[in-house]
């Protein structure tokens, strides 16, 4: 791998940075005032060519690379913005449908996700099962040319927004060894589909995250992704890419923590000189920067492996194992450098610290990724 960005990569970074400076603060101000996303949020991202980044142009995508996606997401991470969540989902969900869907599903769903008309959703987690597919309680019963889905999903981003979602259910039509999980594309306006109020969370302020209730929701058989019983494979592929994307965002949080701390240490005067000239803080900043750089290079490596068509299930788990505690420590050090001011919402480091806390539980928990990576080591 070449660790230097190409001229095209650098242009992508500049365009993303300009977009963030121009649009993100306005979006965040709207969310803070109204408690939810602007109705035109996805349209704004679509206009900037930031949706469907790795989807071919023939389906309305950009036809770009996973590395460029990671570079864009890192810029959003530097802003510590919640608007990353729908942007990220409207990249990963259409890519999954492109990978596993029929031509009918591709034509039906992907263009609207890429132009911002549809809010994409992925729904696997449940109230009593977490990430364990073996005990999934949402069930799909085959009824002629339809499946009937019944169950509940928890912590579903954009679950109450119009569009399509990829829902995973235990397929009652499968018998014996073939009994398993099937992935369905569900129209979120379907009869029997309802949602809870939004969760109020520690980080990702004002995100549209809710429970989804499926009460005999009828889904055409043609809306199955892949084949019946192949849902877990589709999910694991999606979540591996999601891990890389979210770790890029987390690297952005770490970079923001460094930049905020440097600025504070330059301005804060102690004994007549900038605090940053004191050896203790100089060393702290050096550690923070070095840790962020290491996480960034691991993220680029994983993204480049995606672009080369290599499997990333294990690599993305290893990336998460290293990046999550590393960036969380960077955020903690940044807050510590700010002293009591770091605990105040007047300083951005407080928000960065909270948002970094989510890294260990989003896109599969750190513990699950330890199992994935550890089993690979044992099995050679």
The domain ranges of the chain are 7-114, 121-229, 233-379
Residue 81 CA to residue 61 CA, distance in Å, equals 23
Residue 302 is predicted with a pLDDT of 97
Residue 176 is predicted with a pLDDT of 58
Phi and psi, residue 182, nearest 5°:
-120, 145
Contact present, 111 and 46 (Cβ < 8 Å)? no
Handedness of CA 349, 248, 372, 230 (dihedral sign): positive
In sequence order, the 6+-apart residues with CB closer than 8 A to the CB of 56 are 63, 98
Per-residue pLDDT of the chain (380 residues; tens, 9 = 90+): 667 899 999 999 999 999 999 999 999 999 999 999 999 999 999 999 999 999 999 999 999 999 999 999 999 999 999 999 999 999 999 999 999 999 999 999 999 999 999 999 999 999 987 767 678 899 999 999 999 999 999 999 999 999 999 999 999 988 754 568 999 999 999 999 999 999 999 999 999 999 999 999 999 999 999 999 999 999 999 999 999 999 999 999 999 999 999 999 999 999 889 999 899 999 999 999 999 999 999 999 999 999 999 999 999 999 999 999 999 999 999 999 999 999 999 999 999 999 999 999 988 889 989 988 999 888 87
Render pLDDT for 226-272 as a digit per residue (tens, 0 to 9).
Answer: 999 999 999 999 999 999 999 999 999 999 999 999 999 999 999 88
Question: What CATH number does domain 121-229 carry, 3.40.50.1100, 2.40.110.10, 2.40.50.100, 1.10.3720.10?
Answer: 2.40.110.10
Residue 147 is predicted with a pLDDT of 98
- For residue 241, give both structure tokens: 């890419």
Find the farthest-apart pair of alpha carbons in the chain and give their distance in angstroms, rounded. 80
Three-class SS state of 209: strand
In sequence order, the 6+-apart residues with CB closer than 8 A to the CB of 323 are 247, 250, 251, 295, 298, 299, 359
**DSSP labels, 239-308:** HHHHHHHHHHHHHHHHHHHHHHHHHHHHH-EETTEEGGGSHHHHHHHHHHHHHHHHHHHHHHHHHHHHHT
Contact present, 82 and 206 (Cβ < 8 Å)? yes
Residue 258 CA to residue 15 CA, distance in Å, equals 22
**How far is residue 1 from each of residues 57, 67, 298, measured CA to CA in Å?**
26, 12, 11
Residue 314 CA to residue 158 CA, distance in Å, equals 28
Residue 241 is predicted with a pLDDT of 97
The residue ranges of DSSP E strands in 145-238, in sequence order, are 146-157, 164-171, 181-187, 193-195, 209-220, 224-225
CA 138 vs. chain centroid, Å, equals 23
Residue 363 is predicted with a pLDDT of 84
User: What is the CATH architecture of 233-379?
Assistant: Up-down Bundle (1.20)
- The residues facing 149 across adjacent strands are 140, 217
351-369 in b/e burial notation, b at 16+ Cβ within 10 A?
A: bbbbbbbbbbebbbeeebb
Phi and psi, residue 168, nearest 5°:
-110, 130
Residue 2 is predicted with a pLDDT of 65
CATH number listed for the domain at residues 7-114: 1.10.540.10
Residue 302 CA to residue 311 CA, distance in Å, equals 9
Residue 98 CA to residue 225 CA, distance in Å, equals 10
Contact present, 82 and 30 (Cβ < 8 Å)? no
C-beta contacts of 140-146 below 8 A and 24+ residues apart: 140/169, 140/170, 140/171, 140/172, 140/173, 140/182, 140/184, 140/219, 141/172, 141/173, 142/171, 142/172, 142/173, 142/221, 143/218, 145/220, 145/221, 146/218, 146/219, 146/220, 146/221
Residue 310, phi-psi category: left (phi > 0), alpha (psi -120 to 50), beta (remainder): beta
- The residues facing 139 across adjacent strands are 150, 170
Residue 374 CA to residue 369 CA, distance in Å, equals 8
Residue 108 CA to residue 104 CA, distance in Å, equals 6
């Amino acid at each position: 791998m070449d660790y230097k960005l190409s001229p095209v990569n650098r242009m992508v970074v500049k365009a993303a940075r300009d977009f963030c400076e121009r649009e993100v603060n306005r979006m965040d101000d709207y969310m803070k005032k109204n408690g939810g996303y602007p109705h035109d949020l996805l349209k704004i991202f679509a206009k900037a060519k930031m949706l469907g980044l790795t989807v071919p142009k023939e389906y309305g995508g950009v036809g770009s690379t996973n590395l460029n996606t990671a570079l864009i997401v890192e810029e959003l991470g530097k802003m510590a913005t919640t608007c990353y969540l729908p942007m990220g989902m409207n990249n990963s969900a259409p890519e999954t449908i492109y990978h596993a869907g029929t031509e009918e599903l591709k034509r039906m769903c992907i263009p609207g996700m890429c132009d911002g008309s549809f809010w994409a959703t992925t729904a696997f987690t449940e109230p009593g099962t977490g990430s364990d597919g073996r005990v999934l309680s949402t069930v799909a019963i085959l009824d002629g040319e339809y499946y009937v889905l019944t169950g509940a999903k928890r912590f579903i981003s954009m679950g109450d927004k119009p569009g399509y979602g990829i829902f995973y259910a235990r397929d009652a039509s499968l018998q014996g060894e073939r009994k398993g999980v099937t992935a369905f594309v569900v129209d979120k306006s379907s009869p029997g589909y309802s949602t809870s109020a939004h969760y109020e969370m520690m980080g990702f302020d004002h995100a549209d995250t809710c429970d989804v209730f499926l009460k005999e929701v009828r889904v055409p058989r043609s809306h199955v992704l892949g084949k019946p019983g192949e849902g877990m494979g589709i999910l694991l592929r999606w979540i591996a890419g999601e891990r890389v994307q979210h770790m890029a965002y987390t690297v952005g949080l770490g970079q923001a923590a460094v930049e905020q701390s440097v600025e504070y240490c330059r301005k804060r005067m102690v004994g007549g000189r900038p605090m940053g000239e004191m050896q203790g803080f100089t060393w702290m900043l050096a550690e923070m920067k070095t840790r962020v750089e290491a996480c960034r290079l691991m993220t680029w490596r994983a993204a480049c492996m995606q672009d080369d068509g290599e499997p990333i299930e294990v690599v993305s788990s290893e990336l998460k194992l290293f990046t999550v505690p590393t960036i969380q420590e960077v955020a903690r050090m940044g807050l510590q450098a700010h002293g009591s001011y770091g605990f105040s919402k007047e300083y951005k480091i407080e928000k960065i610290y909270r948002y970094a806390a989510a890294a260990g539980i989003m896109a599969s928990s750190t513990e699950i990724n330890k199992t994935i990576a550890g089993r690979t080591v044992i099995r050679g």
